[in-house]
């Protein structure tokens, strides 16, 4: 059966993700060797990518451009905040340094250091890929129908389902 990418199919694909503007490779599934496995329609990958993969067949490759609104969202200027330097004790600060912090509720938030002086540190809480147009070079490895169990639980089981 030559399936295509459509709702309730389980799709396995390799991708190389690039910053469209600079052409710089951000990440690639080929480095880890494992393709990404997802169930179409379950919200497991960014919506703009999933939508543009619809109808692709096994073995097909495609370069897909996804605008920020359909990827990680636009950059939100309100997420750039200043924090007292003493919050960052024992951290060798540098501009562009990615950091993770725990909220009192125990959630992990990621941020990037923009600038700092002796008193304050300016951090950006936007997702690192927010505001970027992304290019995914996609190669479909396999497509199969989801099992009733997977459809019930809304995600792909089996190999590679390590979210």
* C-alpha span between 47 and 40 (Å, rounded): 10
Helix (H, G, I), strand (E, B) or coil at 77: helix
Looking at the predicted structure, is the pLDDT value of residue 71 above 60? yes
Would you identify the CATH topology of the domain 9-72+130-153? Chitinase A; domain 3 (3.10.50)
pLDDT band, residue 137 (cuts 50/70/90)? very high
Task: For residue 14, count other CB atoms closer than 10 A to its CB.
Answer: 18
| Residue tagged 């067949």 (tokens) | 57
CATH of domain 77-124: 2.40.10.330
Q: Give 9-68 pLDDT, tens digit per residue.
A: 999 999 999 999 999 999 999 988 899 999 999 999 999 999 999 999 999 999 999 999
* C-alpha span between 124 and 128 (Å, rounded): 9
For the chain, what are the domain ranges?
Answer: 9-72+130-153, 77-124
């Amino acid at each position: 059966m030559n399936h295509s990418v459509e709702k309730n199919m389980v799709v396995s694909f390799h991708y190389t993700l690039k910053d469209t503007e600079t052409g710089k490779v951000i990440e690639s599934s080929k480095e880890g060797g494992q393709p990404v496995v997802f169930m179409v329609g379950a919200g497991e990958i960014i919506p703009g990518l999933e939508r543009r993969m619809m109808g692709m067949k096994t073995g097909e490759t495609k370069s897909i451009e996804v605008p920020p609104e359909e990827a990680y969202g636009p950059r939100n200027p309100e997420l750039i905040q200043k924090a007292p330097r003493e919050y960052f004790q024992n951290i060798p600060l540098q501009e562009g340094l990615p950091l993770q912090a725990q909220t009192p509720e125990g959630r992990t938030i990621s941020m990037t250091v923009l600038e700092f002086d002796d008193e304050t540190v300016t951090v950006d809480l936007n997702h690192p890929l927010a505001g970027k147009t992304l290019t995914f070079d996609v190669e479909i490895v396999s497509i199969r129908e989801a099992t009733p169990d997977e459809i019930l639980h809304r995600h792909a089981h089996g190999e590679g389902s390590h979210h």
